[in-house]
Amino acid sequence: MKIAIVVPIIGNFGRKGFYHSQEIGLGKEIAKNGHEVIIYKCVPLSFNTELKEEAFEGINVKYIPTRSIGPHGLFKTSFIDKDTDVVFAFSDTQLIIPSLYRYCKKNNIKFIPYVGIAHSFQRNIKSKIMDQVFKLTTLKIYKKVKVVTKTDHAKQELMSMGAQQCVVAPVGLDFSSLKADFEEYDRVKLREKWGFSAKDEIISFVARLQPEKRPLELIDLFKEIQSQNKKLLIVGDGILKKDLLEKISLNKLEEKVILIPQVKYEDMWQIHYIADFFINLRSDEIFGMAIMEAIYYKSNVLAIAAPGPNTILENMKAHKICKELTDVKSHLESHKIICSQLDEDKAYLAKNFSWSKCASYIKI
């Protein structure tokens, strides 16, 4: 069959070179089964002015320059080939979904939305308007079709709004893009490369420096930890960078905190491998690709309870779901890392969070 994967979301989601791309991972897995796969990915007009294409590993990626409203790409649905058999769309609350659904229906294309969240993250007038628009438009589509959700939380949210057909298919990792032989590298030398020593206990934080990620609260948490050997490695950039640097300076933590704005995805395995702990503080995390990568590279994950972390960590032994920041602090101070548990959790990850499992759930 001819399968289209549509990514209307504008932003860092799937940004080539810096992030683990969900659509590429899924596309590669579907292509293994002999299907023709085309990925239609929206990019801002400031990024591209002409449609660009890229082909590799059995898939074709089309980067579509488009107007947008915030993260909502407003591309022309006619870009999608009319002889397509299935459109699998990373949908959420995207404004384009109703017109995309109508295009699919008109051309006898099966439409499958993939949903991680059904409401706006922010709580202001604009977000309330967008939530109301969603209920009056996109939600009506979700009530008509079978919806695949990333988490049980998203499934329950949609069903409470009236969607009838919802199945859960967790996000997968593209294991072929990960560093399989990472443990053959000298961990001490890699630590020195990034500015740390063998004796340091490294806490890593990989996230955009935005309010919902809570980087400023991270500094408050870290300064209370009583340990000479604990060091903090922050990888990220964003609107709170200046405030973060000021807070690090104010608390005299310059020698204990290293901030790196960006790390190429090809080098991210090193960040996870050298770290003892990986923490995620977002209380509404949809999924968390970096969490899964940290587990793969055997960094101990501590995450605030949220739909994504709950789904990933609920059956794991070494990694912890925390209710509050005080729980994160407590685990950082007292938690004993058990290597055998990290190995078991990595095996559990490989078994339960692959794209092959997701593809079988959505029955393409």
Extents of the domains making up the chain: 2-168, 175-352
Helix axes 339-352, 289-296, angle to 10 degrees: 130
Question: CB-based contacts of 8: which residues, under 8 Å, 6+ apart?
Answer: 42, 72, 73, 75, 89, 90, 91, 94, 96, 97, 100
Owner of token pair 């560093």: 179
Strands 300-304 and 277-280: parallel
Q: What residues pair up with 65 in beta bridges, in sequence order?
A: 43
SS (H, E, C) 268-308: HHHHHHHCCEEEECCCCCCCCHHHHHHHHCCCEEEEECCHH
Please say whether the beta carbons of 142 and 113 come within 8 A.
yes
pLDDT on residue 46: 76
C-alpha span between 297 and 178 (Å, rounded): 9
pLDDT on residue 364: 65
Phi/psi of residue 289, each to 5°? Answer: -65, -40
Nearest to 170 by CA among 190, 202, 148, 185: 148
Please say whether the beta carbons of 205 and 235 come within 8 A.
yes
Give the pLDDT means over successive 10-residue stretches in the chain (364 positions).
94 52 91 92 80 86 89 91 96 94 97 90 74 88 95 95 93 92 98 96 96 96 89 97 97 96 94 98 93 97 96 96 96 91 97 87 72
The domain made up of 2-168 has a fold known as Rossmann fold (3.40.50)
- Report the side by side order of strands in the sheet with 36-44: 52-56, 59-66, 36-44, 2-7, 86-90, 110-115, 147-149, 166-168
Phi/psi of residue 160, each to 5°? Answer: -70, -20
On the question of a common fold for 2-168 and 175-352, the answer reads yes
Q: Could you tell me the two tokens for 88?
A: 């699998």
CATH class of the domain at 175-352: alpha beta
pLDDT on residue 290: 94
